[in-house]
């Protein structure tokens, strides 16, 4: 199945894009998706933090499966204010 | 009311019609762009946001400020885009029956915003370089 991946802020810069479509298998988790993204975009490897993930705009743990998820967003630690 | 705006914030607009006759206090917090951070001279900031999620998280803060922190009404406005030193980056106005609740709800709102609303700043320095700030 395909998931729509979103990157924000420094992650978008590192990946060189703000969104892409990635095919994942039925057992995929947030973490396995991230590993795939690291292999596509080497600048994402070795971050000093683990990005936050949101599946269909709900903050989600990295071991969550992507069954029926359409959109996965990855964001760096926030710094608003 | 919560909002993301790409133009200068006018704090007096947040205060208009905020307090009810049963409110005895209004607290206003303004975050502004500093000219230095971690020993470097800063000339400005760029704010990047995830608009849908940032607004959703700000609405949660709005609800919780009223439900659990004693606010009668709250307005939170955050800038997006490019700001220069001295500009207001965020404004939070809280009305409450008494000052303790107004201060407490305002503090709750800014601290929660800084920890969990998907907004990021990139600092611009006088030497022309720029760097993302990650983590509050």
Contacts across the A-B interface (CB distance below 8 Å): 72
pLDDT digits (tens, 9 = 90+) for B82-96: 999 999 999 999 999
Q: Provide ipTM, 2 decimals.
A: 0.94
Query: What's the CA gap between A76 and B105, in Å, rounded?
Result: 27
In A14-56, the DSSP E strands lie at 19-23, 52-55
Residues 6+ apart with CB under 8 A from A47: A76
User: Which positions in chain A have a beta carbon within 8 angstroms of at least one beta carbon in chain B?
Assistant: 6, 8-10, 13, 49, 54, 57, 73, 75-81
pLDDT digits (tens, 9 = 90+) for A26-59: 899 999 999 999 999 999 999 999 999 999 999 9
What CATH number does the domain located at A2-75 have?
3.10.20.30
Cβ proximity of A37 and A22 under 8 Å: yes
pLDDT digits (tens, 9 = 90+) for B37-75: 989 999 999 999 999 999 999 999 999 999 999 999 999
pLDDT at A27: 93
Closest to B86 measured CA to CA, from B44, B133, B24, B132: B44
Sheet containing B25-32, strands listed edge to edge, beginning at the edge strand earlier in sequence: B2-5, B73-79, B88-96, B25-32
Query: What's the CA gap between B4 and B7, in Å, rounded?
Result: 9
Per-residue pLDDT band for B136 (boundaries 50, 70, 90) equals confident
- Residue A80 to residue B47, Cβ atoms within 8 A: yes
Q: Which of B50, B52, B134 is nearest residue A79 as measured by Cβ atoms?
A: B134
User: How far, rounded to the nearest angstrom, does the alpha carbon of residue B108 sit from its chain's CA centroid?
Assistant: 11
What the block records as the tokens of A7 is 């990157």
Cβ proximity of B92 and B110 under 8 Å: yes
> Which domains, and CATH codes, for chain B?
2-133 (3.90.1170.40)
Query: What's the CA gap between B67 and B76, in Å, rounded?
Result: 16
User: Which positions in chain B have a beta carbon within 8 angstroms of at least one beta carbon in chain A?
Assistant: 31, 47-50, 52-54, 56, 78, 89-90, 110, 113-122, 132-136
- Average pLDDT of B100-107? 98
> Is residue A21 scored above 80 in pLDDT?
yes
């Amino acid at each position: 199945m395909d998931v729509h991946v979103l990157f924000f802020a420094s992650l978008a810069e590192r990946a060189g894009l703000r969104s892409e479509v990635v095919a994942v298998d039925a057992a995929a988790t947030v973490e396995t998706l991230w590993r795939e993204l690291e292999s596509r975009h080497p600048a994402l490897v070795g971050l000093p933090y683990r990005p936050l993930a949101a599946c269909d705009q709900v903050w989600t743990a990295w071991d969550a499966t992507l069954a029926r998820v359409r959109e996965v967003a990855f964001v760096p630690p926030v710094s608003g204010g | 009311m919560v909002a993301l705006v790409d133009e200068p914030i006018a704090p007096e607009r947040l205060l208009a019609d905020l307090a009810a006759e049963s409110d005895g206090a209004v607290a206003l917090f303004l975050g502004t762009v500093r000219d230095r951070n971690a020993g470097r001279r800063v000339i400005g900031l760029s704010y990047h946001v995830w608009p849908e999620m940032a607004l959703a998280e700000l609405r949660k803060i709005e609800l919780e400020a009223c439900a659990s922190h004693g606010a009668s009404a709250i307005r939170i406005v955050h800038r997006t885009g490019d700001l220069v030193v001295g500009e207001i980056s965020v404004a939070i106005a809280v009305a409450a029956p008494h000052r303790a609740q107004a201060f407490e709800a305002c503090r709750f709102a800014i601290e929660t915003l800084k920890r969990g609303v998907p907004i990021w700043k990139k600092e611009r320095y006088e030497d022309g370089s720029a760097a993302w700030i990650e983590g509050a």
